[in-house]
Structure formats: structure tokens, C-alpha cells
Amino acid sequence: MVLSSSPLNIAVSIVKRKRFWIALVLAAIMASASYLHYKGYYSLADAITLLEAHPIAAPAIFIVLYAVLSVLMLPTLPLNLAAGMLWGWAWGTVLSLFGVVMGASIAFFIARYVGHDFIEKHLQGKHWQMLWRLIESYNWKAVAFARINPVFPSAPLNYFFGLTNISFAHYFFSTLLFILPPSLFFAVIGDSVGGFVLEGSTKDLVNNVLIASAAITVLVLSKVAFNQLKDKAA
């Protein structure tokens, strides 16, 4: 007997899958980490103290910490600034880049394993299909555009691209190349400010860059949407 594809049967089939429980456990860990961060248990000062207490192992600790925070979708911008402060803008950029790419790769594979097949099978709405076709048509360019714009939160994008059909090779190299400018920018700021309290002109500089990035993003996305509507009307 063939089971009907009712919402109940779909829900039962999902609950029986190992990937569902992996996703549930990961979501619970993320929620717990976010709550602890909100309550102040995730202290950047403690991280800096740890890094300064182990100067030889500090680069490796930093990269692993950066990757873990990326996977848990916790803020990593303070670590970009910390890298510049602790190691200067050059090495700070390199270490931040290692951390970004490691975290982005892990999150991509988690999303690809846990959710890609489900998204491809069940999200059949026309808007989702349009979004998926749009991303496939731009391929690595979509990753590049998202990475080079600091207004886009990096951690959610790691999981999002894992759900698409973009190959890991395109994702990896686009991330590696186009996350470099933002990493360099924030490492330079960390190197120049010498601390984590962004005040005065430094804070204004960061905000201005984010505002400019947001404006450019809106313009580019508006142009893409206009082209899509024009092609659809043709």
C-alpha cells in the first residue's frame, strides 16, 4: 500500500530520519550558545586572555575558535578586530581568512548533508524555485557577491549555500577569494584601534562601510529583480 503524501505522513517520515535529529541537536546547541552569548557568558575579553596566555598555540586556537563561532552562528567580527590587534593587519588577515574558510566549509557540509535533499524535494513553490534557479544561474558569482559585502551575515550564508546546488569547489574558492577584502579591512581597523571599543571615527568608519555596502546590495539586487521581471514579461 502506498502512503499518501499528507502533512502527517511527511512529518512522520521526517522524524524517522537520522538527519532530522542531527539538525535538531545542532539547532539546540546553536540556541544554547546564542542564549549564553546574550547573557554575557561568551566574553571576547576571556578569549583574548586565553590567546595571550598561550602565545605559541594562539594562532591555532584562534582559527579553531573562529570556525566554532561561525558554525554556531555567533558574531565573529570582534575576532577579526582581535586578529588585527594581536598580530597586525597582515597576519591578522591571514588567520581570519583561515578561520572563515574552515568555519564556512564545515557549515556548508552540515547543511548539504542535513538539509539539501529535503529542500530540493519539498520546497516546490514558485518563489523558491525562482530563487534556486537564480542562484544556479549566477553560481560562484552569487557566493562572491555575498562574501565581498560585509552587510551580509557570513554564518547564515554558509548554511544557505550548502542547501543549494552550488558545488563545494565553486563555493570554497569564491569564499576564499572574496572574503579577503572584508577580512583585510577589519584586521586593519583592529590593528589601528588597538582594542575592541569602537569609538569616534573608527566606529563611524565601520558604520559607513556597512551602510555603503547595504546601498550597493540594494541597487544590485534591484537590477537583478528588474532583469528577471523583464525576461519573464518577454
**Confidence class of residue 200 from pLDDT cuts 50, 70 and 90?**
very low
3-state SS string for 57-74: CHHHHHHHHHHHHHHCCC
d(CA 127, CA 232): 13
> Could you tell me how far CA 207 lies from the centroid of its own chain?
19
- Interhelix angle 154-163/58-71, rounded to 10 degrees, is 60
pLDDT tens-place string over residues 81-130: 889 888 999 999 999 999 999 999 999 999 998 877 777 666 666 666 67
The reported pTM is: 0.76
pLDDT above 70 (res 54): yes
Residue 179 C-beta-side C-alpha neighbours within 13 Å? 28
Tell me the mean pLDDT in the region 174-193: 86
- Cβ–Cβ < 8 Å for 85, 49: no
Tell me the mean pLDDT in the region 219-223: 51
* pLDDT of amino acid 87: 92
The Cα angle at residue 201 between residues 196 and 205, in degrees rounded to 5: 85
pLDDT above 60 (res 9): no
**Confidence class of residue 226 from pLDDT cuts 50, 70 and 90?**
very low
> Could you tell me how far CA 182 lies from the centroid of its own chain?
13
User: Could you tell me the three cell numbers for 196?
Assistant: 575592541
* pLDDT of amino acid 72: 92
Task: Please tell me what DSSP assigns to residue 4.
Answer: P
pLDDT tens-place string over residues 69-83: 999 998 888 888 889
pLDDT above 50 (res 199): no
Tell me the mean pLDDT in the region 29-37: 85
Q: Go through the chain and tell me how many residues it has.
A: 234
